[in-house]
Amino acid sequence: MKNITAYLTLLFCGMALLSSCSGEKEPPPPLTYTGENPRVQDPLSPEDSQKHIQLPEGFKAELYAAEPDIINPIAFTWDERGRLWVVQSKDYPHGLANDVGGDRITICEDTNGDGRADKFTDYATEQNLTTGITLVKGGAIVSQAPNMVFLQDTDGDDKMDKSTVLFDGFGTWDTHAGPSNLRY
């Protein structure tokens, strides 16, 4: 008990001493909104970003695709042909603008075998709040609140021709809580 009392006394005395040493400073001026969002950090190059990736021992991260070919990727999956399907979200987290979505699903391919994507095919464009994708026989199941949709390429040109709503009911009032991370 004596140790706790001594510790608390020392702690409070130290806090009082520190607060009295801070000096008389004027408070900072109030913040005003200028209409511009503050820049927190300039984006890193893909190569600099790789330096910050933490991997288990024995693993190596290699760049496959980057801007300007892919912008704001939020979901991806690989198909049986080794192609990367990427959900690019321009809308998230703001939702639909002018009744036309800005999200897209892009198929990335390495056609020359150098380990980097060099062919980019837009499978689906003008999508809204696309947050997840999984590939199934005949197409892709995609989460786009309020719907879960089945997108199909019916003529084999790697472009979506048909969209079918499988079910609906997801909320759209908070895009951060939308359906995502689909697996098959």
Q: pLDDT of 68-85, one tens digit each? A: 999 999 999 999 999 999
**pLDDT score for 10:** 57
DSSP letters, the chain, are -HHHHHHHHHHHHHHHHHHHTS---PPPPPP---SSPPP--PPPPHHHHHHT----TT--------TTTS-SEEEEEE-TTSPEEEEE-SSTTT--BTTB--EEEEEEE-SSSSSS--EEEEEEEEE-SEEEEEEETTEEEEEETTEEEEEE-SSSSSS--EEEEEEE----S-GGG-------
Give residue for tokens 């001594």.
6
Residue 177 has pLDDT above 90, yes or no: no
CA distance 27 to 125: 51
What is the average per-residue pLDDT within 130-151?
A: 94
The per-residue pLDDT for range 105-126, each reduced to its tens digit, is 999 999 999 999 999 999 999 9
> Does the pLDDT value for residue 30 go beyond 80?
no
Average pLDDT over residues 83-101: 81
- In this prediction, residues 149-154 reach a mean pLDDT of 97
The predicted structure's pLDDT at residue 8? 55
Q: Do 131 and 75 contact (CB within 8 A), yes or no?
A: yes
Would you give the distance in Å from CA 83 to the centre of its chain? 20
pLDDT at 22: 54
Residue 152 confidence (pLDDT) above 80: yes
Where along the chain do its domains lie?
62-177
pLDDT category, 161, cuts 50, 70, 90? very high
Whether the pLDDT of residue 28 is over 70: the answer is yes
Q: What is the pLDDT of residue 1?
A: 53
Q: What's the pLDDT score for residue 40? A: 76
Place of tokens 């190596």: 60
* Whether residue 14 has pLDDT greater than 60: no
Residue 36: per-residue pLDDT: 77
